[in-house]
């Protein structure tokens, strides 16, 4: 029986595509997919049989061979797991797809355990023979191995690690999936423009982002928050369970706290984080200036929460898919013709799912691939300008994956989260300048507003989310129980510290935190500051590009090709940036201020 039928390419609604994910597996028949995952598990178990018990006797050359074999079956298993995950996310109401994903998830957990066991044996080898780290044969894995050694004091025994993997699979991961299924399958009945129907959360968010009618945005915002509020008890329980479980594990692993481990995972120092956040807090006035100018552009005395991301100026909401494609490809091609051609190939090869539909859980995302020359992208395209920026953003992720996969083995391929947003946000800036060059004043205001709305989300809202999570852990580490109302009040407190009283928040807005999938991630915590890091980093890089022109292109490509083979600090130091310095982050924030000044200038010319 084939349950991958939704992965077959179709064109609907003015050629808005659904993707073809069938190349990810050898055969889309569900039994064949199960067998492909089972084959990966067998390869992993055979690997363990050959290497795990004998690794102490391996030399550097043999160890490299073992790593290369490990990478092959790890990627094969991840590719099959991702296919099943993507299939499920296409429609969370499809029980067959969910069953297949459950099987793939269990298989991948077995493969991960082999990886964990192998890593622990490598750590023991380092303790017995530390000189092996300096061998020429292991040069490719130098940074990866040094980070492995840093984690070595925080590992458990093989059986304990296996137990944790199994418990997380049916514990934290189950809570994550519950969040996805609740919000992905829930709808709210609403009348918009005299048409009453059921709206999913994704559809309501699209109205909030794209509608030029304030009343429609208000209705959609209140409906979205009411939908979330309806589920606040199970979602609060899920958030609390994931957070406490993660905190308990980190404590038992002897990490000082969850944030320390998060920084280790992102390969970023606490000095860099503190320098960045100090600059953000000292420049909250830029946010307040933008809120003020946006209220003027919308001709309202005070912004409401449903106005914060509202379209301004002359913003079209009826772009065709072909128009969106051309704009994104042109923006990247102007930067580099090879990159532009690769982006165009994503469209030609049907790697993009842009169709909005009930049951689809992701508003936007890119599935990185270590396969040559591809990635898979999902978004909800409804014809708005923001959708085109989302398309530019996600194709930027695809570029990053492509360039990194070309240059790195599997273990060095995926960039850390702080660097992951580099190409995606750089792509947004390229699209911004392309659109500004083609627009009149009213259109420029609309375009600038889109990019500044993104600044609010990635920099200032990320600061809210960081403080919210940090204070959650501050309280739970003292064994304080956070009930539903406590969590809602904590969100409001952190939000108001950043936004002040410049925004009128609507009913149930204290539950907005529960809409964010990142608050419910089972595999990592504090997935908030990397967004601000990536945004301000990209702004600083874009200033370099505007100054240096085409001579900057090889620098950016080098950054994107580096994957995780070096820390962000080492990588950026090579191109002249010190991320531990407040001066570095000031460059990024000044770029943001420049864009606000452009919008203020347009407003002044309009009113004069």
In tens, the pLDDT along 472-504 reads 999 988 888 999 999 999 999 999 999 999 999
Classify residue 512 as exposed, middle or buried by CB count within 10 Å of its CB (0-12, 13-18, 19+): buried
The CA distances from residue 526 to 30, 468, 519, in Å, are 36, 10, 8
Confidence of residue 14 (pLDDT cuts 50, 70, 90): low
Q: 582 and 278 in contact (C-beta within 8 Å)? A: yes
Assess whether pLDDT exceeds 50 at residue 278: yes
- Which residues, including other chains, have CB under 8 Å from residue 100's CB and lie 6 or more apart? 3, 30, 33, 34, 84, 87, 88
Average pLDDT, the chain: 91
Assess whether pLDDT exceeds 70 at residue 198: yes
* Distance (Å, whole) CA 268 – CA 259: 11
Q: What percent of the chain has pLDDT over 70?
A: 97
In the prediction, which pLDDT does 80 show? 98
Average the pLDDT over 518-528 and give the result. 92
Classify residue 193 as exposed, middle or buried by CB count within 10 Å of its CB (0-12, 13-18, 19+): exposed
State the DSSP H helix or E strand holding residue 367, giving kind and residue range, or none if neither.
Answer: strand 364-367
Read out DSSP for 392-403? HHHHHHHHHHHH
Average the pLDDT over 330-354 and give the result. 96
Assess whether pLDDT exceeds 50 at residue 3: no
- Per DSSP, helices labelled H in 52-157 are 60-90, 95-128, 142-151
DSSP-derived 3-state class of residue 277: helix
DSSP-derived 3-state class of residue 151: helix
Confidence of residue 430 (pLDDT cuts 50, 70, 90): very high
Using the 8-state DSSP alphabet, how is residue 306 labeled?
Answer: G
In the prediction, which pLDDT does 292 show? 96
In the prediction, which pLDDT does 151 show? 86
Q: 450 and 391 in contact (C-beta within 8 Å)? A: no
Task: Write the pLDDT tens digit of every residue in 106-163.
Answer: 999 999 989 988 988 898 888 888 888 889 999 999 999 999 888 888 988 878 888 8
* Distance (Å, whole) CA 597 – CA 293: 10
Q: 396 and 377 in contact (C-beta within 8 Å)? A: no
The crossing angle, in degrees rounded to 10, of helices 417-437 and 441-455 is 170
Confidence of residue 440 (pLDDT cuts 50, 70, 90): confident
Task: Write the pLDDT tens digit of every residue in 445-459.
Answer: 989 998 999 899 999
In the prediction, which pLDDT does 608 show? 60
CA neighbor of 134 nearest in space, from 120, 146, 147: 146
Average the pLDDT over 387-411 and give the result. 95
* Distance (Å, whole) CA 606 – CA 443: 12
Write phi, then psi, for 454 (nearest 5 degrees).
-65, -40
Assess whether pLDDT exceeds 80 at residue 362: no
Assess whether pLDDT exceeds 50 at residue 557: yes
Confidence of residue 285 (pLDDT cuts 50, 70, 90): very high
Write out the two tokens for 365: 């995302």
Write phi, then psi, for 118 (nearest 5 degrees).
-65, -45
Q: 408 and 67 in contact (C-beta within 8 Å)? A: no
Confidence of residue 554 (pLDDT cuts 50, 70, 90): very high
Strands across the sheet with 376-379, in order?
A: 352-353, 376-379, 364-367
Assess whether pLDDT exceeds 90 at residue 464: yes
Confidence of residue 364 (pLDDT cuts 50, 70, 90): confident
* Distance (Å, whole) CA 448 – CA 453: 8
Assess whether pLDDT exceeds 60 at residue 592: yes
Taken as a whole, the chain contains a residue count of 608
Read out DSSP for 188-205? EEEEETTEEEEEEHHHHH
* Distance (Å, whole) CA 234 – CA 476: 18
Confidence of residue 257 (pLDDT cuts 50, 70, 90): very high
Average the pLDDT over 564-569 and give the result. 93
In the prediction, which pLDDT does 29 show? 96
Assess whether pLDDT exceeds 60 at residue 11: no
Determine how β-strand 187-192 pairs with β-strand 195-200: antiparallel
Q: What percent of the chain has pLDDT over 90?
A: 77
Determine how β-strand 503-504 pairs with β-strand 303-304: parallel
Beta strands in 406-507 (DSSP E): 503-504
Assess whether pLDDT exceeds 60 at residue 2: no
Confidence of residue 13 (pLDDT cuts 50, 70, 90): very low
In the prediction, which pLDDT does 568 show? 94
Long-range pairs, 249-253, Cβ under 8 A, ≥24: 249/164, 252/156, 253/154, 253/155, 253/156
Assess whether pLDDT exceeds 70 at residue 8: no
Assess whether pLDDT exceeds 70 at residue 1: no
Confidence of residue 286 (pLDDT cuts 50, 70, 90): very high
Between 316 and 297, name the one with better pLDDT.
Answer: 297
Write out the two tokens for 358: 């009930």
């Amino acid at each position: 029986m084939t349950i991958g039928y939704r992965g077959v390419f179709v064109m609907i609604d003015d050629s808005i595509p659904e993707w073809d994910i069938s190349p990810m597996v050898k055969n889309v028949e569900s039994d064949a997919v199960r067998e492909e995952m089972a084959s990966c598990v067998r390869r992993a178990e055979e690997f363990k049989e050959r290497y795990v018990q004998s690794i102490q006797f391996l030399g550097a050359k043999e160890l490299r061979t073992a790593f290369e074999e490990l990478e092959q079956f790890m990627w094969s298993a991840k590719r099959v797991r991702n296919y099943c995950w993507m299939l499920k996310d296409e429609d969370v109401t499809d029980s067959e797809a969910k069953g297949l994903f459950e099987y793939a998830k269990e298989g991948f957990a077995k493969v991960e355990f082999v990886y964990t066991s192998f890593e622990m044996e490598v750590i023991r080898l380092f303790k017995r023979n530390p000189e092996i780290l300096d061998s020429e044969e292991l040069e490719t894995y130098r940074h990866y191995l040094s980070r492995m050694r840093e984690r070595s004091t925080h590992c458990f025994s093989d059986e304990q690690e296996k137990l944790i993997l199994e418990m997380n699979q049916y514990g934290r991961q189950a809570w994550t999936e519950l969040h996805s299924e609740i919000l992905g399958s829930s709808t709210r009945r609403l009348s918009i423009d005299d048409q009453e129907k059921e709206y999913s959360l994704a559809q309501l968010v699209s109205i909030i982002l794209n509608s030029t009618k304030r009343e429609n945005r208000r209705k959609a915002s209140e409906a979205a928050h009411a939908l979330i509020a309806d589920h606040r008890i199970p979602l609060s329980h899920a958030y609390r369970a994931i957070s406490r479980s993660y905190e308990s594990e980190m404590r038992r692993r002897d990490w000082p706290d969850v944030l320390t481990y998060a920084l280790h995972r992102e390969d970023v120092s606490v000095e860099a984080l503190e320098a960045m956040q100090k600059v953000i807090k000292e420049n909250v006035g830029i946010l307040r200036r933008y809120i003020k100018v946006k209220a003027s552009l919308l001709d309202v005395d005070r912004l409401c929460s449903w106005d914060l991301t509202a379209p301004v100026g002359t913003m079209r909401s009826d772009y065709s898919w072909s128009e969106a494609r051309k704009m994104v490809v042109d923006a990247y091609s102007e930067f580099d013709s090879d990159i532009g051609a690769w982006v165009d190939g994503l469209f030609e090869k049907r790697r993009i799912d842009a169709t909005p539909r009930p049951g689809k859980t992701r508003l936007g995302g890119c599935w990185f691939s270590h396969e040559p020359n591809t990635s898979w992208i999902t978004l909800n395209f409804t014809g708005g300008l923001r959708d085109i920026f989302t398309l530019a953003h996600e194709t930027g992720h695809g570029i990053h994956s492509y360039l990194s996969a070309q240059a790195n083995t599997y273990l060095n391929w995926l960039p850390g989260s702080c660097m992951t947003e580099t190409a995606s946000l750089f792509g947004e800036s390229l699209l911004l300048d392309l659109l500004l060059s083609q627009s009149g004043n009213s259109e420029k205001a609309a375009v600038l507003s889109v990019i500044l709305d993104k600044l609010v989300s990635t920099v200032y809202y990320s600061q809210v989310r960081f403080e919210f999570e940090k204070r959650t852990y501050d309280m739970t580490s003292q064994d304080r129980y956070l009930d539903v109302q406590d969590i809602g009040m904590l969100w409001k407190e952190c939000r108001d510290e950043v936004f002040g009283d410049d925004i009128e928040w609507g009913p149930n807005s204290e539950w907005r935190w529960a809409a964010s999938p990142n608050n419910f991630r089972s595999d990592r915590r504090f997935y908030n500051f990397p967004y601000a890091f990536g945004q301000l980093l990209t702004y600083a890089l874009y200033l370099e590009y505007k100054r240096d022109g085409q001579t900057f292109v090889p620098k950016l490509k080098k950054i994107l090709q580096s994957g995780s083979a070096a820390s962000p600090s080492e990588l950026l130091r090579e191109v002249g940036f010190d991320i531990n310095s407040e001066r570095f982050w000031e460059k990024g924030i000044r770029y943001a201020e420049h864009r606000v000044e452009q919008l203020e200038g347009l407003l002044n010319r309009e009113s004069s």
